[in-house]
Amino acid sequence: MSTHPIRCASRDRRRPHVHLGGHIEGGKRNSSPIRAVSVVSTGTVEIHPEHAYGTRKPLYWWLLTSRKWLPPRPINVHVIKHVKGLVLFDTGQDRASVTDDSYFPGGFTGIIYDRLARFHVGE
């Protein structure tokens, strides 16, 4: 797993997390209940250019004929340090999708799923 910085103009962009509240800024105490936000990458995904940028080609045509893949994009989770505890937002890919052969359906639908993306989920 790797940690990616949150984009924030008021903080060093290379830091793995950004503190947002509970500190003094400009002589005033910031009372935000959110103390920090971190982004953790749990893997990567490769997708076709048509998927990312759109195309006039019919969906099934480019899914079945496209041979180009974009560079890997991160699959991220967000961890929020709140005054009442930690909150995890995970909108990433289920690990079972790359470890369980029966996760996706078979037949034509399975072929389409297989052509959508290439997932590389961390162990």
List pLDDT tens digits, range 9-19. Answer: 333 444 455 55
Determine how many CB atoms are found less than 10 A away from the CB of residue 57. Answer: 12
List pLDDT tens digits, range 38-61. Answer: 998 888 999 999 999 999 999 999
Domain boundaries, the chain: 2-121
- CA distances for 108 relative to 59, 63, 72, angstroms: 14, 12, 26
Cross-strand pairs, 17: 38
d(CA 38, CA 76): 10
